[in-house]
Structure 1
Amino acid sequence: MRVKRYIVSALPEAVSMIRTDLGSDAVILDTKEVKVGGFMGMFRKKKMEVIAAVESGGAKPSEPSQRRSQPEVSAMVEQILQTAQRSGSATATATMEPPPAILPTNRGMQMAYQASAATQAQPVEPAQLRPTAPAADENRRLEKEQFIINEIRDLREYMVKLTKGQQELQTLSEPLLALKERMSLQEIDPAWIDRLLDTMKELEQAEGISLDHAETWRRAASQLEEWMLPYCFSGIRADAKVLHFVGPTGVGKTTTIAKLAAEYTIKQGRRVGFITSDTYRIAAVDQLRTYANILNVPLEVVFSPMDLPKAHHALGERDIILMDTAGRNFRSELHVSEVNSLLQANEPNETILVVSLTGKTADMVAIAERFKKFGVSKVLFTKLDETSVYGAIFNLVMNVELLPTYLASGQNVPDDIAIFDCKTYVRILLGEPAHE
């Protein structure tokens, strides 16, 4: 048996050299990482030690046969394999200069390079084929090849997307670039940003003009208002006697209820009643009771759905009843159904989802989709004053199709709450036009 040791930068170099020196029947016995060169133990370079062997009297070294192309391998794989084939002819010794840096830094691409070169090294003549590997080894090889193909496919898709984005930036005027940046900072859904920019470019092309910053902002505001118009001006039904407020803990449901109660009693002269089922949070009942005493509003506490008929009967003479519910984990279907079981009323009623603008859009969407299953279609946004990012409102309205009712900002009762208005919201969303 002939055994030979190679010190190389990467496995594909060794594969090509082993085939040249020992022939196609050679096998790799061991591979490990070593450090060579340097000065007094410092500045040493990482190399790979490869031990290969071939049975005495084995096949003579032969020229590498032409590689067969595999239909599932992409053009990028082909390019990598060609690079590996060119690099395989380099001389690999401990004192040789390191080969050109052709390996990409991405780990998946490096694996693709190494495994692809190894695949290329296999002979194509049936007579030279070695006995088949065990099924476990074959499965591992197939899994590795599939992993490599998936890595390269993902990288190719990313590069295409990156190239498309760069080309798009080159075609946008300075005002449109500023608009895109503003929408991105506001965390508007990228699909809606692209749609808005396409609309603006079509306007420029149709009129044969280049819009300045002020005109770009004006027309963008008009377009956003047009998209949101079907969802605006819904408010709360005038004939609704019972209003249920649901939402996560900490979004300001109790304070919002107090603001609305003050508006109904002081500004509209309506008789208001409170119901609360928030018996989970410490002092939650006391907080609402404090507001009730200030506003001279009766309060009923319910612990289960069986207590609701009694509470509604006690407040039967009231013009409108505002019900506070407990903030729970609304990602759980069980908790949502538990809260929904408390939303019972024989009178005309509405349920309003309360969300905080300081939360993540993804979390708001998850909560909204849970309640949409139970017929909740209206939303109230709080904590407008605690953030400078307002895109979540647009995303929730346009993507989930919830109807906005009020915007709340601050702790002052009965102030710091206003009916949702599209024009006002879009003006806040866009801010002032960028300066030329």
Structure 2
Amino acid sequence: MRVKRYIVNALPEAVSMIRSELGKDAVILNTKEIKVGGFMGMFRKKKVEVIAAIESNQVNAPPVQQQRVQSPEVDAVVEQILQTAQRKTPSAAATAVMEPIIAQPVSGSPTKMEREQFIIDEIRDLREYMIKLSKQQSSNSAMSVHLIQLQEHLSEQEMDVLWIERLLQAIIDKQVEERSEYNKEQVWEHAGEQLEAWLRPYEGSGISSSARVVHFVGPTGVGKTTTIAKLAAEQTIKKGRKVGFITSDTYRIAAVDQLRTYANILNVPIEVVFSQMDLPRAMKQLAERDLIYMDTAGRNFRSELHVSEVNSLLQSSEPSETILVLSMTGKTRDMAAVAEQFCKYGVQKVLFTKLDETSVYGAIFNLIMNFELLPTYLASGQTVPDDIEKFQVDTYIQKLLRGNGS
């Protein structure tokens, strides 16, 4: 028996190819929907996998007389399915069922029951395909101009395709449930409501009040040092807490001097460590401090070795937590790669900087939803301590959906 696999957009396309390559005596053994292509599990396209076969002795052989299965029950089912297919998708049904459904001659002289079962299985597969095709056409027809505008806007915001599709489908389902077509304002309103439902469980994380030591990690140039100064000013000026600094950022020129300048302005003691062995000494010097912020060196955190190296400095006997700092000026896929590396070591919280230097905010949503990171603060500008605020779902959604023209 000769068996061949086809990957096509739709079943009718496979039927044409099978007849051309294997002949009219070929039979379809199986069909199923699959996803192919894409990048890092995203942007994958839906395809149909079709498995067809033909007896080896029938390839290029003269046509044989084929007998139609005489079974009133099967004929009735066939007629019903074909009528349904014609009503829902006339063109696809006509293409997919160009030949009468027949029992193919196979070795071993199959019984009438086996032939009928084969036909019933084929009809079932065809019916399932028609249902999927009908749903897809209904979904496409429900894509109003307002939904398309929303889709384009979120794509420009670099939201992952997977989440865009889920959001659009949620709005379409609401329209079907309410038996109405939303106008522009309603589409964007429901989009905001769905985004809020997804993000609300991650709101209010902040920095834990029980943590005495807070480590800040992230790539070079994301603004860790300035962010530490903003948070320290908030704690010392507004809340009256005694704060101390530790820095291990001895790789970057003038990094220590920058944090030392902030420390002098805020009247905060600072300790410099070069390795994990220096940490006990630094902690002893800052024993009277209520809160200690530790600045770490920015490295190429696509490298697991560098992530492991920084992680070795984060071990503490004190109640502590680690904040991943990412800049919104970075590429979305680079931020995702860094987040994936740190999540392996249990980092659960993230802080976003430089929001004033971009108008694209989809990366925040992607990182929260894809890695279940808890957003703490959003920082913008260089002003200490003003240019930082706690993450608020409503404020973020306004930024994400800004420019909708409504």
- Could you tell me which residue of structure 2 aligns to residue 227 of structure 1? 198
- Could you tell me which residue of structure 2 aligns to residue 423 of structure 1? 394
CA distance in 2, matches of 1:306, 1:382: 31
- Could you tell me which residue of structure 2 aligns to residue 326 of structure 1? 297
- Could you tell me which residue of structure 1 aligns to residue 262 of structure 2? 291
- Could you tell me which residue of structure 2 aligns to residue 242 of structure 1? 213
Partners of 1:213 and 1:434 within 8 A in 2: no
Partners of 1:175 and 1:434 within 8 A in 2: no
- Could you tell me which residue of structure 1 aligns to residue 65 of structure 2? none
Please, which runs of 5 or more residues in structure 2 have no aligned partner?
8-12, 22-58, 62-134
CA distance in 2, matches of 1:394, 1:299: 35
Identity within the alignment, %: 63
CA distance in 1, matches of 2:366, 2:310: 25
CA distance in 2, matches of 1:73, 1:324: 56
Shift of the 280–221 alpha-carbon distance from structure 1 to 2, 3 Å rule, reads: same
What secondary structure is seen at the aligned counterpart in 1 of 2:153?
helix
Residues 1:402 and 2:402 aligned together: no
CA distance in 2, matches of 1:207, 1:171: 13
- Could you tell me which residue of structure 1 aligns to residue 284 of structure 2? 313
CA distance in 2, matches of 1:174, 1:353: 39
Residues 1:268 and 2:201 aligned together: no
Match of 1:71, as an amino acid?
K
TM-score where L is the length of structure 1? 0.63
RMSD: 2.4
What secondary structure is seen at the aligned counterpart in 1 of 2:293?
strand
Q: Bigger radius of gyration, 1 or 2?
A: 1
CA distance in 1, matches of 2:257, 2:20: 75
Residues 202-221 of structure 1: pairs in structure 2 closer than 5 A:
202-221=173-192
Shift of 1:293: 0.9
CA distance in 2, matches of 1:78, 1:218: 45
Residues 1:71 and 2:42 aligned together: no
What secondary structure is seen at the aligned counterpart in 2 of 1:187?
coil
Shift of 1:232: 1.2
Shift of the 278–73 alpha-carbon distance from structure 1 to 2, 3 Å rule, reads: closer
Match of 1:409, as an amino acid?
S
Deviation beyond 2 Å, 4+ runs, structure 1: 68-83, 164-171, 432-435
Match of 2:338, as an amino acid?
I
CA distance in 2, matches of 1:387, 1:289: 29
CA distance in 2, matches of 1:313, 1:434: 57
Residue-by-residue CA offset, 1:79-130 (whole Å, 9 max, x unaligned): 59969xxxxxxxxxxxxxxxxxxxxxxxxxxxxxxxxxxxxxxx979xxxxx
- From 154, 157, 180, the equivalent of 2:151 is 180
Residues 1:368 and 2:339 aligned together: yes
Match of 2:347, as an amino acid?
V
Shift of the 243–197 alpha-carbon distance from structure 1 to 2, 3 Å rule, reads: same
Residue-by-residue CA offset, 1:301-332 (whole Å, 9 max, x unaligned): 00010000110110111111000000011111
What secondary structure is seen at the aligned counterpart in 2 of 1:341?
helix
Please, which runs of 5 or more residues in structure 1 have no aligned partner?
1-67, 84-122, 126-163
Shift of the 336–166 alpha-carbon distance from structure 1 to 2, 3 Å rule, reads: farther
Match of 2:404, as an amino acid?
P
CA distance in 2, matches of 1:295, 1:307: 24
- Could you tell me which residue of structure 2 aligns to residue 434 of structure 1? 405
- Could you tell me which residue of structure 2 aligns to residue 198 of structure 1? 169
TM-score where L is the length of structure 2? 0.67
Shift of 1:226: 0.6
Shift of the 316–277 alpha-carbon distance from structure 1 to 2, 3 Å rule, reads: same
- Equivalent residue pairs, number: 291
